[in-house]
Amino acid sequence: MQSKLQLLPAIDKLLKTDRVKDWYANYDHTFIKGTLQTSIQYYRQALLAGEDIAVSVEAIIDYAESQLKQIGGDGLTPTINATGTILHTNLGRALLAPEASEAVQSVMSDYSNLEYDIQAGQRGSRYDHMRELLIQLTGAEDALIVNNNAAAVLLILTAFAKGKEVLISRGELVEIGGSFRIPDVISSIGAKLHEVGATNKTHLVDYERGINEETAAILRVHTSNYRIVGFSKMVDDRELVELAHKNGLPIFNDLGSGLLLNLEQVGLSYEPTIKEMIQFGYDLVSFSGDKLLGGPQAGIIVGRKDFIEQLKQAPLLRALRVDKMTIAALEATLRLYLKPELAMATIPTLKMLSRSQEDLLTMAEELRRRLAHLPAVQAEVTQGFSQVGGGAYPTDQLATYLVKVTHENYSASELEEALRRSDSHIIPRVGEEKVQFDVRTLTYDNVQRIVGEFSKL
Ligand SMILES: *Cc1c(COP(=O)(O)O)cnc(C)c1O
């Protein structure tokens, strides 16, 4: 062992190799030296522990290089979503339309009129961008953008319900992924949750009885990620709004995934649009930018002008404010909705939702054919279902085509791991001892890359 320890190279020797010299293009001397020392230390410990490992200059540099990659490399990186779940929160939710990416690009490296009124030549407000656009698209009096919808709900409740009671139906005590629970949000801002009705049924009279002098507002939360089916009842929107206003109370609606277009046209079940919600008379409606809307992460609040004005005065707003890249992306996305056909044709979320069966089958057949050409690979096409994801349309099943693949030298889980860790980071489904590609969320470029990674196996 002693002799093996002597094989550990001196740091100076490593520093003189061509491989390490290349690192100086991206990293400084202290960092490189530290990484090499860590690698030598790793090998020393392994040898002292009696492990039988081969020591060489190359191996020590390999180890150091993997460390460099972990710290300075990969990071946030593109993946190929072959799960078919369109709004996959773990994989970054909505993809931006090209128009939105370009808008981000252009404000990123130039100065902009973020808080400057170009016409008047004086200070402007970042919240003025998109106001007119959102008013136009939703029919609301005013609009405000924050960091995400969770922030929107937090801001609204802090401004209007702090220290008082919020009435909410027991059927709407929603938890959204990542442990955002409505009851926790309400208690965290020092408001009190006043639950009314039962889990499956809430009647107007339940709300009516719940109202007392401590009541600050009624909150409606769209049960976007689950459905209560069977023996159930929810109070009609108009009736509830009327009850709130008759009692001088504001009423808010956390819509989750806000819809600007009716998606029954692509075969999904009926969901009210934001415009309809505003027509029902809600004082404020909030929704996400990166769910069905198909834009960047953002929380959008629309509704009564005096209410929005009050939100703008809240000190908390400063902590929840959106950045210029978000504003650029959201504004460009919303502009596409001025012509709904354009939105359907350019926003990736809407495009994936509305892909035809022929289009899906053609892509699935192409992927199958090209994979089946490779040695040791078997592939077949079957029918299946995709999910919308992002807590939207939990019970809607979108018919799709799956390419199911096996490989003679890999089990399904080994194959999944190899694809996931490949340069293209392909994320498929796994089932029936097969790796499954749902083509709904793929592009032809993705198909090309999947075939490429298989050919490297
Ligand atoms: C998704 C969702 C949220 C959270 O929205 P984010 O934009 O992810 O913060 C809040 N409420 C409902 C009902 C949701 O579906």
pLDDT in tens, 215-234: 999 999 987 666 666 777 78
Q: How far is the CA of 294 from the centre of ligand 1 (A)?
A: 14
Return phi, psi of residue 132, to 5°.
-60, -40
Q: For 91, how many CA atoms within 13 A lie in the half-sphere containing its CB?
A: 20
Q: Are 115 and 417 in contact (CB under 8 A)?
A: no
Report helix, strand or coil for 196: strand
> pLDDT at position 1, please?
56
Query: Where does 9-97 have alpha helices with state H?
Result: 11-15, 18-23, 29-48, 57-72
What phi-psi label fits residue 5: left (phi over 0), alpha (psi between -120 and 50 degrees) or beta? alpha
Q: How far is the CA of 288 from the centre of ligand 1 (A)?
A: 6
Return phi, psi of residue 59, to 5°.
-65, -40
Q: What is the mean pLDDT of residues 368-397?
A: 91
For the record, the structure tokens of 187 come out as: 């208690």
Residues near ligand 1 (Cβ within 6 A): 148-150, 174, 176, 180, 221-222, 224-225, 254, 256-257, 288, 299, 391
Q: What's the CA dihedral at 425, 426, 429, 430 to 10 degrees?
A: -80
Q: Radius of gyration (Cα) for the chain, nearest Å?
A: 27
Report helix, strand or coil for 223: coil
> How far apart are alpha carbons 146 and 298 in whole angstroms?
6
Q: How far is the CA of 223 from the centre of ligand 1 (A)?
A: 10
Pairs from 307-310 (Cβ < 8 Å, separation ≥ 24): 307/142, 307/160, 307/250, 307/283, 308/141, 308/142, 308/143, 308/144, 308/284, 309/142, 310/159, 310/160
- Of 113-117, 119-123, 280-284, 390-394, least confident by mean pLDDT is 390-394
> How far apart are alpha carbons 255 and 390 in whole angstroms?
12
Q: Are strands 426-427 and 429-431 parallel, antiparallel or unpaired?
A: unpaired
Report helix, strand or coil for 32: helix
Smallest CA-to-CA distance from 362 within 403, 407, 405, 406 is with 403
For the record, the structure tokens of 1 come out as: 């062992």
Residues 6+ apart with CB under 8 A from 8: 40, 43, 44, 47, 55, 60
Task: Indicate which residue's Cα is closest to atom 1 of ligand 1.
Answer: 256
The model scores a pTM over 0.95: no
> pLDDT at position 390, please?
77
Residues 6+ apart with CB under 8 A from 370: 447, 451
Residue 355 burial (CB < 10 Å; 0-12/13-18/19+)?
A: middle
Report helix, strand or coil for 155: helix
What is the layout of strands, in order, in the sheet containing 377-386? 377-386, 398-407, 434-438, 429-431
CA-290 nearest atom, ligand 1: 7
Task: Work out the mean pLDDT of the chain and round it to a whole number.
Answer: 93
CA-255 nearest atom, ligand 1: 13
> How far apart are alpha carbons 203 and 198 in whole angstroms?
9
Q: How far is the CA of 385 from the centre of ligand 1 (A)?
A: 24
The pLDDT > 90 percentage for the chain reads: 81
Smallest CA-to-CA distance from 452 within 74, 80, 90 is with 80
Q: What is the DSSP string of 347-402?
A: -HHHHHHT--HHHHHHHHHHHHHHHHTSTTEEEEEEEEEE--BTTB-TT--EEEEE
Type of residue at 383:
Q
For the record, the structure tokens of 207 come out as: 């709300």
Q: Are 271 and 313 in contact (CB under 8 A)?
A: no
CA-297 nearest atom, ligand 1: 7
CA-392 nearest atom, ligand 1: 15
Task: Indicate which residue's Cα is closest to atom 13 of ligand 1.
Answer: 256
In this structure, how many other beta carbons lie within 10 angstroms of the beta carbon of residue 100?
26
Model confidence pLDDT, tens digit, residues 9-47: 999 999 999 999 999 998 999 999 999 999 999 999 999
> pLDDT at position 395, please?
76
Model confidence pLDDT, tens digit, residues 69-122: 788 666 889 999 999 999 999 999 999 999 999 999 999 999 999 999 999 999
Smallest CA-to-CA distance from 115 within 103, 128, 124 is with 124
Task: Indicate which residue's Cα is closest to atom 6 of ligand 1.
Answer: 149
DSSP state of 79: -
The pLDDT > 70 percentage for the chain reads: 96
Model confidence pLDDT, tens digit, residues 426-455: 999 999 999 999 999 999 999 999 999 999
Q: What is the mean pLDDT of residues 359-376?
A: 97
For the record, the structure tokens of 20 come out as: 């390490």
Q: How far is the CA of 344 from the centre of ligand 1 (A)?
A: 23
Model confidence pLDDT, tens digit, residues 194-206: 999 987 888 999 9
For the record, the structure tokens of 360 come out as: 């899906």
Q: How far is the CA of 66 from the centre of ligand 1 (A)?
A: 37
Which one has a higher pLDDT value, 401 or 53?
Answer: 401
